[in-house]
Amino acid sequence: MMDAETLAVFRAEAEGLVESLESNLLALKDAPRDRALIDGAFRDLHTLKGTGAMFGRADIASFLHDFETAFDRVRDGSVEVTPDLLSVALAARDHVVALLSAEPAEGADRAGAAILSRLAALMGTPAAPGAAPDAGPWHATFRLPADTAALGGRPELVLEELRRLGARTIRARTGDVPPLDRLDPVCLYLGWEAEIDATATEDDIRGAFLFHEDGLQLSLTPPAAPDATAPPPRGPEPPQHRAPALMRVPAERLDEMMDRVGELVIAEARLNELAARFGDPGLVAVAEDIQRLATAMRDNTMSIRMTPIGAITGRFRRLVHDLSRELGKPLALEVTGEETELDKTVIERLADPLMHLIRNAADHGLEPPAARAAAGKPEEGRITLSARYSGAEVLVALSDDGGGLDRDRIRARAVERGLLAEDADPPDDALWKLIFEPGFSTAPAVTELSGRGVGMDVVRRTIEDLRGTIDVASAPGGGTTVTLRLPLTLAIIDGLLIDVAGERLVIPLAAVDEIVELPDSLADDDSGNAFLDIRSSLVPFLRLRRLLDSEGQPGAHQKVVVVTSGEGRVGLVVDRIIGSNQTVIKQLSPLHSGIKTFSGATILGDGAVALILDVPQLVARGRSDTDCQGEAAA
């Protein structure tokens, strides 16, 4: 068996290749004659096969060999790429994934054979001849007596015989060849290992050694258990076609690196404080150097962790392709802003919610083709996934051009479930949010895909865990857009350090718009005015002293930090601005993660812990309070 590390390397390589293969196949759907794509897919198949063989996964290598043979007819132009062909090819890709999994399911061999015969039928070639194509080969490791040549034996005839029996690879083992000065020319130092097709019988193979039985060392592993005893054959690496400058790194190492950089940034802040206290010019200079390096390290590490959202959109293309077939609706997925980058932890956790949203859009959002035609829309339903930056956030929007949310039905369902009073008539966006309630489904029929009402609350939970928010917009007949707002990173940010009643807190600097003095007329806690007039726009504000339940009275010259999130702005009244700092975000433990005012905590230069204010939550709070006041006034 492969040891765990080798296995991990193999998996990582194979997964990368499978991913690339899939994206090439999916791209071929739109450009069936694109030579570059066909060549790319072929290359992926070939390299994958080589990787499989190199790591001793004969089952994978053999399956891919036949897949590749069939696909070669596409490459040489004798077969055209058709949707049917792509579907089979994708099924074959799935089969490879199944083979890669730790324990391939029962009957995997038969499934593989079925895929290959469908593939062969489409290619107009008979199925691969001979035995079951995916039975593994024999592994033979052998050593002839050292005096074989001296006695007139001819090892090359043995090799020839093995080749005749169907040896795919024969490799010499040269480990015992001595240095030249000690080499005896008539002595045989070489051993061999060979992989021989399963069509050969054990007697056939043993027969090949008929004349060398004295002193022969032969170990023969039957095909059923290809890697049970024999060590995985190692040979020259097959040619690799990969971008030379890329490296696959286990994600945990990046996480560890981020932790170290976090500690470095904290240590650097301490050093700076000390340097400022002692005032020694040499020390200050070193502290500044360290600060510069730490900042650069931080930015580099962060950029390594930033992953374009395109890394997960490939699977959505696949999903839409499959959904389209299952639902019998022509569907197209358009992706924009694939280069938009998010922290890898955010990206990884985003895949599931987006998958749910796409399923939902395809199943419920988009009407059947006939209904679309009747409404004067193109038959093909369009799902758009777009990503873009907005301040310290990334907006990921999923839209469909379907029928839109059904206001009456959602309202009725909400009343039925006791989420709304009989006579309540909430505004649209409040009503749309109800679709994220657990178990909330208006679907008349539960389908295999959706309608059980489980998906959407998972979406909300995941996005909330990521400290993001969800907006829904919908127009009758005009489709639905779900917008996810996500923080750029969960690791390190630039922060603004503030003081409220002697306690220090951090506001993410990217969210800060401006800082203004609190007018004396508003300094008093009881002054009724809810808004600040900033260049003739009215900004609601929150007194952090009250929000944080602080003690004592504020001094003069309170400041207002104006922060934005999405479309909203809110002013936060603080006692004093301390300055900016690099903030390593530490997640709050489960004991405190329920307190939504804070998005995390950080460690300051003097070792104290400071809480980080959650700007989107505060802005939402400022808005809803303003709305309440507005309603009360009306």
Partner 1 sequence: MTDAAQFPGAARDVLTFRLGGEVLAVAATQLREVLEPAPVTRVPGAPAFSAGLINVRGAVVPLADLRVPLRMRHTPPGPDARILVLDLPLAGQQAIVGIHADAVHEVTRIGPADLEDIPTVGTRWPPRFVAAIGRWGGHFVTLPDLPAIFADFLSGQSGRSHLPGPTAAGQQDLEIS
User: Interacting stretch for partner 1, rule CB under 8 A, among 8-16, 347-355, 543-551, 557-565?
Assistant: 543-551
Q: Which two three-digit tokens encode residue 570?
A: 């809110």
Q: Does 255 bind partner 1 (CB under 8 A)?
A: no
Task: Check the CA dihedral 429-431-434-440 and report its sign.
Answer: negative
Residue 410's closest CA among 390, 430, 384, 395?
430
In terms of Cα–Cα distance, which of 577, 564, 568 is closest to 516?
577
Q: Which is nearer to partner 1, 385 or 615 (CB)?
A: 615
DSSP string, 386-423: EEEEETTEEEEEEEE-SS---HHHHHHHHHHTTSS-TT
Q: Which stretch binds partner 1 (CB under 8 A): 82-90, 146-154, 311-319, 586-594?
A: 586-594
3-class SS of residue 502: coil
SS3 442: coil
CA nearest 492: which of 566, 564, 586, 561?
A: 586
d(C-alpha 297, C-alpha 103), whole Å = 41
Stretch touching partner 1 by CB under 8 A, among 349-357, 415-423, 431-439, 593-601: 593-601
Q: How far is the CB of 123 from partner 1 (least distance, A)?
A: 51
With CB under 8 A as the rule, give the number of residues binding partner 1.
46
366 by Cβ neighbours in 10 Å (0-12 / 13-18 / 19+) ranks as buried
Cβ(195)–Cβ(141) below 8 Å: no
Q: Which of 167, 205, 230, 603 binds partner 1 (CB under 8 A)?
A: 603
374 binds partner 1 (CB under 8 A): no
CB nearer to partner 1: give 105 or 591: 591
Among 297, 530, 577, 578, which residue sits at the site for partner 1 (rule: CB under 8 A)?
Answer: 530
Q: Do 200 and 166 form a contact (C-beta atoms < 8 A)?
A: yes
Structure tokens at 414: 């909400």
- Residue 345 sits at the vertex; the CA angle it makes with 341 and 350, to the nearest 5 degrees, is 75
- Verify binding: residue 611, partner 1, rule CB under 8 A: yes
Query: CB–CB of 602/493 below 8 Å?
Result: no
Q: Does 538 bind partner 1 (CB under 8 A)?
A: no
Task: In the chain, count H helices and then E strands.
Answer: 18, 21
580 and 496 in contact (C-beta within 8 Å)? yes
Q: Which residues pair with 482 in a beta bridge?
A: 398, 472
The answer to whether 162 touches 196, Cβ cutoff 8 Å, is yes
Of the candidate residues 208, 610, 615, 619, the single one contacting partner 1 (CB under 8 A): 610
Judge residue 552's burial from the number of C-beta atoms within 10 Å of its C-beta, 0-12 exposed, 13-18 middle, 19 or more buried: exposed
CB of 6 or CB of 529, closer to partner 1: 529
Tokens representing residue 588 in the block: 């709050």
Query: Counting contacts by CB under 8 A, is residue 609 touching partner 1?
Result: yes
Residue 73's φ and ψ, nearest 5 degrees, are -70, -25
Stretch that binds partner 1, among 153-161, 196-204, 321-329, 534-542 (CB under 8 A): 534-542
Bridge partners (DSSP) of residue 492 are 584
Among 404, 597, 605, 620, interactor with partner 1 by CB under 8 A: 597
Of 179, 244, 281, 590, the one binding partner 1 by CB under 8 A: 590
Q: Nearest approach, Cβ of 628 to partner 1 (angstroms)?
A: 8
The answer to whether 115 contacts partner 1 (rule: CB under 8 A) is no
625 binds partner 1 (CB under 8 A): yes
Check residue 549 for interaction with partner 1 (CB under 8 A). yes
502 burial type by CB count under 10 A (0-12 exposed, 13-18 middle, 19+ buried): exposed
Please report whether residue 263 would count as binding partner 1 according to CB under 8 A: yes
Extract the tokens encoding 578.
């301390």
Distance (Å, rounded) from C-alpha 88 to C-alpha 28? Answer: 13
Identify the residue among 132, 415, 547, 620 touching partner 1 (CB under 8 A).
547
Return the amino acid letter for 163: R
- Which of the ranges 153-161, 281-289, 437-445, 539-547 carries the binding residues for partner 1, by CB under 8 A? 539-547
Of the candidate residues 103, 252, 526, 567, the single one contacting partner 1 (CB under 8 A): 526
Stretch that binds partner 1, among 145-153, 271-279, 480-488, 601-609 (CB under 8 A): 601-609
Answer for which of 463, 598, 615, 616 binds partner 1 (CB under 8 A) is 598
**Other beta carbons less than 10 A from residue 326's beta carbon:** 13
Q: Is residue 527 part of the contact set for partner 1 (CB under 8 A)?
A: yes
Contact flag: residue 556 with partner 1 (CB under 8 A): no
607 binds partner 1 (CB under 8 A): yes
Whether residue 342 contacts residue 394, with contact meaning beta carbons closer than 8 Å, is answered with yes
Smallest separation, CB 285 to partner 1 (Å): 26
Instruction: Find out whether 516 and 574 touch, Cβ atoms under 8 Å.
Output: no
Beta strands, E only, 447-588:
469-475, 479-487, 492-500, 503-508, 512-517, 531-534, 537-543, 559-565, 568-574, 576-584
| Nearer CB in complex with partner 1: 78/529 | 529
Residue 96: CB atoms within 10 A of its CB come to 23
Chosen residue from 514, 586, 605, 620 binding partner 1 by CB under 8 A? 586
Which of 365, 602, 615, 619 touches partner 1 (CB under 8 A)?
602
**Binding segment for partner 1 among 5-13, 112-120, 209-217, 591-599 (CB under 8 A)?**
591-599
Interface residue with partner 1 among 540, 554, 568, 616 (CB under 8 A) is: 540
- Please give the radius of gyration of the chain, using alpha carbons only, rounded to the nearest integer: 33
Q: Which of 629, 631, 633, 634 binds partner 1 (CB under 8 A)?
A: 629
Q: Contact with partner 1 (CB under 8 A): which of 541, 569, 583, 619?
A: 541
The region of 113-121, 174-182, 338-346, 597-605 touching partner 1 under the rule CB under 8 A is 597-605
Q: Report which secondary-structure segment, H or E, holds 23.
A: helix 4-30
The answer to whether the beta carbons of residues 125 and 197 sit under 8 Å apart is no
Q: Which is nearer to partner 1, 423 or 549 (CB)?
A: 549
Q: Which is nearer to partner 1, 212 or 621 (CB)?
A: 621
State the minimum distance, in angstroms, from the CB of residue 626 to partner 1: 6
Between residues 314 and 622, which has the closer beta carbon with respect to partner 1? 622
The residues facing 331 across adjacent strands are 381
Could you tell me the smallest distance in angstroms from the CB atom of residue 475 to partner 1? Answer: 31
The least CB distance from residue 555 to partner 1, in Å, is 17
- Contact status: 271 vs partner 1 (CB under 8 A): no
Q: Is 552 in the site for partner 1 (CB under 8 A)?
A: no
Binding mask 492-511 for partner 1 (x = CB under 8 A): -----------x--------
Q: CB nearer to partner 1: give 411 or 543.
A: 543
Residues within the interface to partner 1 (CB under 8 A): 262-263, 266, 503, 522, 525-531, 540-543, 546-550, 586, 588-592, 594-598, 601-603, 607-611, 621-622, 625-626, 628-629
